[in-house]
Structure 1
């Protein structure tokens, strides 16, 4: 394994383990807020990629945004769906449907598909080819929608 890939793999594994341990120490409210922050940050980065694909393509910006998305996708966010996070808690609102917690095998598959799509986007962005990024970005969008359609309530 190349040194960079080995370092990245070790870093992602450590982040996943740390994320799982941290999630157990967080209250349900904090878990909801933390996962929402992660999704908001991914959405912001997806917006930067979309803007770049629709305007003047900025390979460096796209690469940074794709790497941020992949890092969050691989961070172990599933641990932030702990007991008590299936509904609003106090002033903290969630759009997750209760069905998510009843279909963990399907959710796991969708999460795996999302991670794969995020990793593919980061790989395409590293190559610098706008066409490859556009395709990978579309695949990531479909992976997002697959979960949203089933497990996220409308506003």
Structure 2
């Protein structure tokens, strides 16, 4: 278990530098924005079915969305925060605060928490229990928001 947490932290925070060594800063920003946008869209699909309109609940759709969220959370997107991505690059704008790059221990803590909650959402979604999914959806959203609150600039 301890090894898994260390591995997740390393992957989440980009200590595996292969991805950023292959992509220009502009592309890293573009790729991470795309990943987060797709994850957000899938969070919206779950929200629509367990919060906004529970009568529309479809276990298979919710499970598919939760699978994508967990896969993205575990994909090592932290590697897309390489040198040069702390500011706008080319045509890509970033909303990441400089503190993100200055507080790696806090970033690791938040990343590991989000990965944990996303994995739990994936697990709970397979049960088809809409109330349990709704509760875990809230926890997952809060862990995502914790990073936004700390490290994302407002528009």
Match of 2:30 in 1: 33
What TM-score results when the alignment is normalised by the length of structure 1?
Answer: 0.86
RMSD: 1.8
Q: What SS does structure 1 have at the residue aligned with 2:126?
A: helix
Gaps of 5+ in 2: 1-7
Instruction: Please list, as runs of the form range in 1=range in 2, the aligned pairs for 1:40-59 lying within 5 A after superposition.
Output: 40-53=37-50, 54-55=52-53, 56-59=56-59
Count of paired positions: 141
Deviation at 1:20, TM superposition (A): 4.6
**Using the alignment, how far apart are the partners of 2:134 and 2:140 within structure 1?**
10
C-alpha contact 1:32 1:80 (8 A) present in aligned 2: yes
The runs of at least 4 aligned residues of structure 1 exceeding 4 Å deviation read none
Q: Can you list the C-alpha shifts for 1:65-109, whole angstroms capped at 9, x where unaligned? A: 000000000000010000000001122100000000000000000
Matched, 1:24 2:29: no
Q: What aligned pairs does 1:81-120 form with structure 2 within 5 A after superposition?
A: 81-120=81-120
Kept in 2, the 8 Å contact 1:20–1:76? The answer is no
Aligned residue in 2 for 1:134: 134
Note if contact 2:19-2:80 (Cα within 8 Å) is conserved in structure 1: no
Q: Secondary structure at the match of 1:90?
A: coil
